[in-house]
């Protein structure tokens, strides 16, 4: 995985800050104009950082590993909730940049034991059903994928994989229901862009891992040779 060096605020971001004063994505506190990230010092000190950032999945699954920095709790949970349900699309860039700042140091630390760094060909997001995307106005996972693609200098492709079935929200179901809910829900629309590729799949949260697993399955069925994932947050008990 190749990471680009951290970037300063770009010109369009300065203009946005003139129009919309920056607030902490975790607690909504107003921030100084030149604050490098939409995060206050108190929330930064209390981030639910995981003890490791590279998480192995069980043998026989379709996702090889999951990169994740944060537990799904505290301010990170609120920031993701606001991204999804409170019309805060700007939270996506901050959440990726924040995760990136930790991952960048992790992969630069030669004392940390890990497998050789993979090189991905493309980045894909977990797709959202068109009806739900129209209602929300955006797919938060797509925004995360676009930002991560900029940081990693890897193309993020759209409409390669779609959600063909408008299933009930996973959060409203039990473990068994979540597993059944997504079977057959995802389809690959452009198999030529998947075959033989090493893919990094992006989503906001990993709760049971079933969404990523079902996406990984259809990608592998169409010839992807490797599918790993990046998520902003995960339930700590899933960390392996």
pLDDT on residue 196: 98
Q: Is residue 8 part of a domain?
A: no
pLDDT on residue 129: 96
- Give the single-character DSSP code of 183: T
Closest to 83 measured CA to CA, from 7, 34, 26, 149: 26
**Bridge partners of residue 125, in order along the sequence:** 202
Domain count, the chain: 1
pLDDT tens by residue, 89-137: 999 999 999 999 999 888 777 555 544 456 899 999 999 999 999 999 9
d(C-alpha 198, C-alpha 121), whole Å: 5
Closest to 147 measured CA to CA, from 205, 232, 228, 227: 232
Q: What is the mean pLDDT of the chain?
A: 87
Question: What's the sign of the alpha-carbon dihedral 58, 64, 68, 72?
Answer: negative
The confidence band for 142, taking pLDDT boundaries of 50, 70 and 90, is very high
Q: Is residue 21 part of a domain?
A: no
Helix (H, G, I), strand (E, B) or coil at 38: coil
| CATH number of the domain residue 138 falls in | 3.40.50.2020
Helix (H, G, I), strand (E, B) or coil at 132: helix
Q: Is residue 114 part of a domain?
A: yes
Which pairs count as long-range contacts for 176-181, CB under 8 Å and 24+ apart, including other chains? 178/207, 178/208, 178/210, 179/208, 179/210, 181/210
How many helices (H) and strands (E) in the chain? Answer: 8, 8
- Of residues 59 and 222, which shows the higher confidence score? 222
User: What's the number of CA atoms in the CB half-sphere (13 Å) around residue 85?
Assistant: 6
Q: Is residue 130 part of a domain?
A: yes
Non-local (6+) Cβ contacts of 111 within 8 A are: none
> Domain residues for 86?
26-238
Which string of b and e fits 39-75 if b means at least 16 CB within 10 Å? bbeebeeebeebeebbbebeeeebbebbbbbbbbeeb
Q: Is residue 1 part of a domain?
A: no
Q: Is residue 10 part of a domain?
A: no
pLDDT on residue 113: 52
DSSP 99-120: HHHHHHHHHH-TTS--PPPP--
pLDDT on residue 74: 95
Q: Report the length, in residues, of the chain.
A: 240
User: What's the number of CA atoms in the CB half-sphere (13 Å) around residue 25?
Assistant: 27
pLDDT tens by residue, 14-39: 666 666 788 999 999 999 877 878 99
The confidence band for 237, taking pLDDT boundaries of 50, 70 and 90, is confident
- Tell me the pTM: 0.86
Mean per-residue pLDDT for 208-226? 96
| 172 has a pLDDT exceeding 90 | no
pLDDT on residue 240: 54
Q: Is residue 146 part of a domain?
A: yes
Mean per-residue pLDDT for 209-236? 96
Q: Is residue 13 part of a domain?
A: no
d(C-alpha 179, C-alpha 175), whole Å: 6
């Amino acid at each position: 995985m190749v990471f680009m060096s951290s970037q300063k605020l770009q010109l369009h971001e300065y203009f946005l800050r003139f129009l919309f004063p920056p607030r902490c994505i975790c607690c909504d506190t107003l921030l100084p104009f030149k604050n490098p990230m939409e995060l206050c010092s108190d929330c930064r000190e209390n981030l639910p950082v995981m003890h490791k950032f590279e998480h192995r999945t069980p043998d026989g699954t379709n996702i090889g590993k999951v990169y994740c920095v944060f537990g799904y709790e505290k301010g990170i949970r609120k920031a993701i909730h606001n991204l999804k349900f409170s019309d805060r699309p700007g939270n996506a860039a901050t959440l990726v940049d924040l995760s990136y700042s930790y991952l960048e140091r992790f992969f630069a630390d030669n004392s940390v034991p890990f497998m050789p760094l993979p090189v991905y060909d493309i980045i894909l997001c977990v797709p959202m059903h068109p009806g739900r995307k129209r209602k929300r106005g955006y797919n938060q996972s797509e925004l995360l994928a676009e930002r991560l693609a900029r940081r990693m200098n890897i193309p993020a492709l759209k409409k390669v994989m779609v959600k063909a079935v408008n299933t009930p929200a996973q959060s409203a179901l039990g473990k068994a229901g979540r597993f059944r809910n997504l079977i057959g829900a995802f389809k690959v629309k452009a198999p030529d862009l998947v075959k033989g590729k090493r893919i990094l799949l992006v989503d906001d949260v990993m709760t049971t891992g079933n969404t990523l697993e079902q996406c990984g399955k259809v990608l592998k069925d169409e010839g992807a040779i490797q599918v790993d994932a990046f998520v902003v947050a995960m339930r700590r008990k899933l960390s392996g």
